[in-house]
Amino acid sequence: MRKTKKQLSADKIPFAAAWRLNKKGLAFWWRLSPQLMTANLLTALFGAIRPYVALWFSARLLDEIATARRPDILTKLALAALLTVSALAAAHCVASRQCTRYTASVNWFGFKRRFAQKLSDMDFSRMDAPATHALYDSIMQADNWHSWGLRNLHYRLQDGFSGLFRVLGALALCVSLFASQVTAAGWGWLDSPLAGLGLLAALLGIILLAPYCARRSAAYSSRANEEATQTNRLFVAYGNPPAGTDRAMDIRIYRQQEFLPVKMETGCKMFNSRTGLLAAYSRGPMGAFEALSGAASCSFTLVAYLFVCLKAWAGAFGVGAVTQYVGAITGFAAGLSQLFTTAAKLQINLPYLQKALDFLELPNEMYQGSLNVEKRSDRNYDVEFRDVSFRYPGADAWALRHVSFKFRVGQRLAVVGENGSGKTTFIKLLCRLYDPTEGAILLNGIDIRKYNYDQYKAIFSVVFQDFQLLAQPLGQNVAANTRVDAARAVNCLRKAGLDSAWLDRQPHGLDTWLYRVFEKDGVEISGGEAQKIAIARALYKNAPFIVLDEPTAALDPVAEAEVYAGFDALIEDRTAIYISHRLSSCRFCDTITVFDAGQMVQSGTHEALVEAADGKYAQMWQAQAQYYV
Ligand code: ADP
């Protein structure tokens, strides 16, 4: 596995790298939805300029009322104000509606789907690695906690645009503030460039102070996020189990309702309102910086008022212009502060953004061949393991060592061995969920890595030991698709041991929903029924190879006997690989392969293996036979 890039702290990410990250993040959103980004931009634009336009008109109206008071001019001004401001308000409304529209589908659904898609598209070995899960958890945790990561960038985009437009609009309205000359004697210094620069310097100082404090405050919240990841994991593990019916029985029998809250309370200390980390931050530096940030913003307004009122007092402009300048300077400050705050938040967001992008860019390293898997009507495929050894990524021990053997088409192969002997690993390699660390697996004499991966996967049906059915209609579960060939589904269910009498008992036949998660008249099926449905799903796929991993573990002895009796009819001309540690269930297989500590130690028919008295198989057979005799 590729080494994960060292996560940098926000302060240490150089500007060029930060720029690249944000550009990539924006490209992500643009690909996801250009409409959302455009709607965001327009919402910010119309939202920012509308108050300035209103301000400009009201200044003109006030000036006219305070001076000439001409009714025709007043009427024209009022009408123009009404029309322009209404048009801008309507445009803002339309743009923000579009934002809402796309936010629901893109920001929530599309965004999460992109991550889910990545998880299902990545190499299985990477998906299976604990480091990938840790990375994914920490991305989702940061996203839940103030949307740090990609989503934060998306929110900041509208903030940034809005800040920019507010600053530009204010500057346009303020040009005449500096150009207007005072008329009163002794106040000429107010017109000097120095006075203007002094004002700007004071305002800038205050403007910088506000976001600086806001950033310091937000940094504490971000710091708490690191601790919250662990806390939230605990919360998910221990906070909600009574809601899941799968754990409810254990909880009652073992009185876990008393034990779990203790676990949670000790683990989730950070949320305690007296001693918790967040409480301490709020009482201390996080709260103080937030208060200081608010105070700085207020003092800005005071300084601006002072300068504008002094110039008006000295006769530079009238009362209408006073409202225009005060409003514009306040808007300028708010816009600039919004820009700085956005920049500060973007900076804090960088490590989270980097994590999210790193995850989305995780490369698929499994070699993807292009050779077509020959579609053979005679299903004449033969598979060979040639000196295959395998170690799980990051593990020291070999899970399989020097495994070599061939199996023929149409064969019934049993793989037996104690727990941990490597049976499931063998299947994972066969289905190319992992590639061998050493050696090769061949299909019809060609290394399986050379085949087109999807076509290769298509030749296997597997009923995994811990298979999962979906809370969806029965027929769709069997077809693994929303389109269901009903006759074929019924036939497969029957072969798997769920006959028409059973199907008739289901309230809506193939349309019966499994489980009651989404449908109140869904059916709760037993473990045995679930296993049979999983077998039916494997048969429906109609692949040349069928792999059954402990397929009868959840069946009662009668049902198990039925499966064995009907095994040939079930499997038909498929090549079957049957994994079990119950040896009695493997007798009907042509070849039995025995795994022990990752090695294939024996192979042969049941009779031959039982006779090899000092072999592993005979030992296991003796140990298990006592329960059957
Ligand atoms: P079996 O199916 O015979 O019970 P497995 O093939 O599941 O055995 O396991 C073989 C060995 O590989 C065991 O030692 C097991 O602990 C190890 N193993 C299985 N899965 C993983 C994994 N995802 N990561 C690391 N080691 C694993």
Q: Which of 14-28, 133-147, 304-318 reaches the highest mean pLDDT? A: 14-28
Res 57: pLDDT: 95
Is residue 6's pLDDT more than 50?
no
Res 443: pLDDT: 92
132-173 per-position pLDDT tens digit: 988 998 899 889 888 899 999 988 998 999 999 999 999 999
Buried b (16+ CB within 10 A) or exposed e, 509-529: bbebbbbeeebeebbebeebb
* CA 34 / ligand 1 centre spacing (Å): 46
Q: Residue 611: which region, alpha, beta or left (left: phi > 0; alpha: psi -120 to 50)?
A: alpha
Please tell me the least confidently modeled range out of 94-98, 107-111, 124-128.
Answer: 107-111
Percentage of the chain with pLDDT > 70? 92
Residue 394 Cα: closest atom of ligand 1: 25
Three-class secondary structure assignment of 492-556: HHHHCCCCHHHHHHCCCHHHCEECCCCCCCCECCCHHHHHHHHHHHHHHHCCCEEEEECCCCCCC
188 phi/psi in degrees, rounded to 5: -55, -30
Res 2: pLDDT: 41
335 touches 165 (CB < 8 A): yes
- Cα–Cα dist 544/227, whole Å: 50
* CA 425 / ligand 1 centre spacing (Å): 6
Is residue 17's pLDDT more than 70?
yes
Residue 397 Cα: closest atom of ligand 1: 14
Q: Which of 580, 488, 481, 478 is nearest to 536 (CA)?
A: 478
Res 358: pLDDT: 94
Please tell me the least confidently modeled range out of 258-262, 356-360, 458-462.
Answer: 258-262
Structure tokens at 387: 């000196």
Confidence of residue 1 (pLDDT cuts 50, 70, 90): very low
pTM for this prediction: 0.74
Residue 465 Cα: closest atom of ligand 1: 2
Is residue 627's pLDDT more than 70?
no
Q: Which of 429, 431, 434, 433 is nearest to 386 (CA)?
A: 429
Residue nearest to atom 16 of ligand 1 (CA): 420
Residue 427 Cα: closest atom of ligand 1: 6
Structure tokens at 608: 């031959």
Structure tokens at 150: 């990609």
Res 448: pLDDT: 95
Structure tokens at 442: 């061949």
| Test site for ligand 1: of 391, 401, 415, 424, most ligand atoms within 8 A of the Cβ | 424
Res 37: pLDDT: 92
Confidence of residue 7 (pLDDT cuts 50, 70, 90): very low
Mean pLDDT across the stretch 54-65? 93
Confidence of residue 239 (pLDDT cuts 50, 70, 90): low
Residue nearest to atom 12 of ligand 1 (CA): 399
Pocket (CB within 6 angstroms of ligand 1): 128, 392, 395, 399, 417, 419-425
- Cα–Cα dist 307/66, whole Å: 21
Res 285: pLDDT: 87
- Cα–Cα dist 41/173, whole Å: 22
Residue 421 Cα: closest atom of ligand 1: 3
* CA 620 / ligand 1 centre spacing (Å): 20
456-485 per-position pLDDT tens digit: 998 999 988 888 899 999 999 999 999 999
Residue nearest to atom 26 of ligand 1 (CA): 392
